[in-house]
Amino acid sequence: MGPELNPGRFVFATVPHGAVPGGVTPVVTVTEGEGTTLVLPEGEAAASGLEYDFVAGWITLRVPSALHAVGLTAAVALALTDVGMSCNVVAGYHHHHLFVPYARASEAVEVLRRLAAESG
């Protein structure tokens, strides 16, 4: 699974369609009916005056994503649920990315390493 904690604090913000402020480099964007969700470094959000309320650690699972595979997201979610931790998952073409509460990000990596060892 190879969970790797990326450096930094990341936040979820929303902007109207087409209104992504200059100077921000989101790591994730999602277009929804209500607007565009941005996941971006906390400092960029603050500097741009964007409101946010969830500060996350960003974990990348270094195992290559198999977008048609069954069970990875469920197994990760269950392992983190068992320790009472929320997790927002984004599947990229190459890897899965997890956004967990920042204060518990290192703990999440350890939980995922244990899961990988048990599954291995």
* CATH 3.40.50.10140 matches 3-119: no
Average pLDDT over residues 25-42: 96
Average pLDDT over residues 3-27: 95
- Write the pLDDT tens digit of every residue in 59-114: 999 887 676 777 888 999 999 999 999 999 999 889 999 999 999 999 999 999 99
Contacts of 92 (CB under 8 A, 6+ apart): 65
Distance between CA atoms of residues 33 and 20, nearest Å: 15
Average pLDDT over residues 17-37: 93
pTM: 0.92
